Amino acid sequence: MNKSITPTIEGGLLVAITVVLGLVTVYVPIIGLMVEFFCAVPLAVLTARQGAGKGLTALVVSFLLLSILISPLLSMRIALTFGLSGVVLGWGVKNNFAAVKIFLATLIVASAAQVLMLAMATVIMDINIIETQLEVIRESFAESFQMYESMGVDPARINDAKNQVEPALQTLALMVPTILMFTALTTTAATYLTAKWIFPKLQIKMPQFPPFTEWKFPAIFFYMGIVSGLGLYWGVTRGWTQIEEITLNLLILSAVLGIVEGFSLISAMLDRYKISKFMRWFLYVILILNAFLLQTVAIVGLMDMIFDYRKRFLSGK
């Protein structure tokens, strides 16, 4: 921003940009899906320049304006999901936090916003959104099975597929916390990447993550994977639905972190032996597409949290 622009004018311009982006998100198909990830950036810029107080004030003003122009519920979604994340990210940049700390703080706020939005939608609309979505999926499968029957597909195979649908949907219902977390993770990553792209253009210093080859998670996630695996077995075999739900989500979380650390370890090893980029990506694609190999990567990554293979093998002469 030009230095001749006062903080008040700058705040007003950034609020206006936020409102315009919110309107595009709602009223412009397809493009709006991409634009919504930029809704957090103006508030992040304002907070990074003028502090959290101005950022929160701008968030409230943006919400009120969008409520007038569209609807309070849609405005609340934009404000909570993206606006609040932008304020938290800008606050972290303002206070010179490390990139990991900023990302985690934004992720926590985005996750809380997802839970709050789900609760508000359930209360305001007086419906069980999760069950409604599952019913839509059931109807979609039913229509697909009818189409296959009309095409002359073997009825036995169709019946086998029908018998697999309901258990899969029940498992999906148990995974709602994980789905909300990954939705928040997507929002956080998109917010961080857009801010990383725009902040340097505005002479705002954006902290950088350490190289991917150095990513390492605490050992507690290894133990969480072990405990959640045992808990999931007990929950399934004894019919403890609540234990099954908790441990299933924890197991998925630990497995995903294990996959990330496993690929980080593999990248470090490939760096050490100076493997070409083509061969690296070829190997990554094979590992991702093969379920057994991907599980192996997750196990290796979880084990690396305990044994630190990089320190044992990669630092050796």
Q: Domains in the chain, please, with CATH?
A: 7-125+178-202 (1.10.1760), 210-317 (no CATH)
The pTM assigned to this predicted structure is 0.83
Q: 136-145 pLDDT, tens per residue?
A: 777 887 788 7
d(CA 280, CA 24): 39
Q: Dump pLDDT digits (tens) for 149-189.
A: 778 777 777 788 778 877 777 777 788 888 888 989 998 99
- In the block, residue with structure tokens 């008040």: 8
Checking if the pLDDT of 46 tops 80, the result is: yes
Does residue 63 carry a pLDDT above 80?
yes
The closest alpha carbon to 108, from 119, 100, 97, 98, belongs to: 100
Contacts of 130 (CB under 8 A, 6+ apart): 173, 176
CA distance 103 to 313: 30
Structure confidence at residue 235 (pLDDT): 86
Q: Is the pLDDT of residue 115 over 90?
A: no
Rounded distance, CA 38 to CA 245, Å?
A: 34
**Angle, CA 39 vertex, CA 111 and CA 56 arms, to 5°:** 70
pLDDT number for residue 238: 83
pLDDT greater than 70 at residue 316: no
